């Protein structure tokens, strides 16, 4: 009887251990002992979505800030910028000899969007890694070989959409889940400050001087515009009220001879 009792105790302990191991494995991310259900796929896709949006946030924040501080350009070839306070600031209006007016460089919003697309496309390679999301057991993760980045500059935000189809497939059930794109919105008023910059440049290229105080009063203090005069140029720095997101650019001046 004693031996039978010992055997029974060992069997019970063994069953408990097996149950605990199964529960532990089932609870781990992307690990399924049984055929994953649609609910399981939804959970895994939710985790993938969070990782993707976090990755876009990491990849996009720096270039979206830098393109504004550099006057709408991420790349600044020689002769197209000046240095001020250790920042490379692009000329958006070039000097015209013996003329107080300047020649508009014609920065377009679509050009800034394309620059951001290219910058994010490169930066995303540093944090998108579907290999770390590979499933064990009966869940298969299929991802496209490449992605396409679409950046849209809105007045009060910058939206980044990464077209990157990801499909989750249950090996034994009919459960399938697919997501084609992942979206991150940056609450930076790049489009609005770009419009203000164009108002400044259009005035500078037409009349030769821009009165920022009159402009700010006309918009009831919605925008703050600073004008610096590092010889022989002008630099305009602007932001929205209560915002630490800045857009700045340079107007090329003519040195005295």
Out of 9-13, 136-140, 203-207, least confident range = 9-13
Whole-Å CA distances, 149 to 111, 114, 117? 14, 9, 5
Report pLDDT digits (tens) over 150-206: 999 999 999 999 999 999 988 767 789 999 999 999 999 999 999 999 999 999 999
Q: What is the DSSP letter of 36?
A: P
Examine residue 48 and state whether it is found in any structural domain, yes or no: yes
Q: What is the pLDDT of residue 94?
A: 98
Out of 8-17, 115-124, 146-155, 182-191, least confident range = 8-17
Whole-Å CA distances, 125 to 101, 130, 131, 167? 44, 11, 13, 19
H-helix or E-strand spanning residue 17: helix 2-27
Phi–psi pair at 22, nearest 5 degrees? -60, -40
Q: Are strands 31-32 and 223-228 parallel, antiparallel or unpaired?
A: unpaired
Measured distance CA(140)–CA(119) in Å, rounded: 31
Mean local confidence (pLDDT), 57-78: 98
168 in Cβ contact with 178 (< 8 Å): yes
Examine residue 115 and state whether it is found in any structural domain, yes or no: yes
Per-residue DSSP letters for 90-120?
EEEEEEETTEEEEEE----HHHHHHHHHHHH
101 in Cβ contact with 208 (< 8 Å): yes
Can you give the residue range of the structural domain that contains 46? 27-189
> Tokens at residue 51, please?
């990782």
Examine residue 100 and state whether it is found in any structural domain, yes or no: yes
Measured distance CA(152)–CA(159) in Å, rounded: 5
pLDDT above 70: residue 134: no
Examine residue 228 and state whether it is found in any structural domain, yes or no: no
- Provide the strand spans (E) within 171-215: 176-186
Report pLDDT digits (tens) over 16-63: 454 554 444 444 444 544 556 788 889 989 999 999 999 999 999 999
Domains: count for the chain: 1
Examine residue 82 and state whether it is found in any structural domain, yes or no: yes
Mean local confidence (pLDDT), 232-244: 96
Give residue 210's pLDDT band: very low, low, confident or very high (50, 70, 90). very high
Examine residue 80 and state whether it is found in any structural domain, yes or no: yes
Examine residue 175 and state whether it is found in any structural domain, yes or no: yes
pLDDT above 70: residue 116: yes
Q: What is the pLDDT of residue 170?
A: 84
Mean pLDDT for all residues in the chain: 88
Mean local confidence (pLDDT), 95-107: 97
């Amino acid at each position: 009887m004693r031996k039978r009792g010992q055997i029974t105790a060992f069997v019970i302990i063994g069953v408990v251990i097996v149950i605990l191991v199964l529960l532990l494995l089932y609870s781990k991310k992307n690990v399924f002992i049984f055929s994953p259900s649609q609910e399981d796929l939804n959970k895994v896709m939710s985790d993938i979505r969070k990782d993707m949006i976090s990755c876009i946030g990491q990849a996009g924040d720096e270039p979206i800030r830098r393109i504004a501080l550099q006057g709408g350009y991420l790349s600044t070839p020689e002769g197209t910028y000046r240095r001020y306070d250790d920042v490379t600031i692009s000329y958006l209006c070039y000097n015209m000899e013996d003329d107080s007016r300047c020649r508009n460089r014609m920065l377009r919003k679509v050009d800034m969007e394309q620059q951001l697309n290219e910058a994010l496309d490169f930066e995303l390679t540093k944090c998108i890694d579907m290999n770390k999301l590979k499933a064990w057991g009966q869940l298969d993760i299929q991802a496209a070989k490449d992605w396409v980045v679409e950046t849209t500059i809105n007045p009060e935000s910058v939206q980044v959409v990464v077209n990157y189809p990801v499909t989750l497939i249950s090996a034994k059930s009919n459960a399938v889940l697919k997501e084609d794109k992942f979206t991150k919105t940056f609450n930076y008023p790049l489009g609005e400050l770009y419009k203000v910059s164009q108002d400044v440049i259009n005035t500078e290229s037409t009349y030769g001087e821009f009165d920022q105080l009159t402009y700010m009063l006309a918009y009831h203090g919605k925008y703050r515009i600073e004008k610096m005069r590092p010889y022989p140029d002008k630099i305009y720095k602007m932001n929205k009220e209560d915002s630490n997101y800045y857009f700045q650019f340079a107007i090329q001046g003519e040195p005295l001879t």
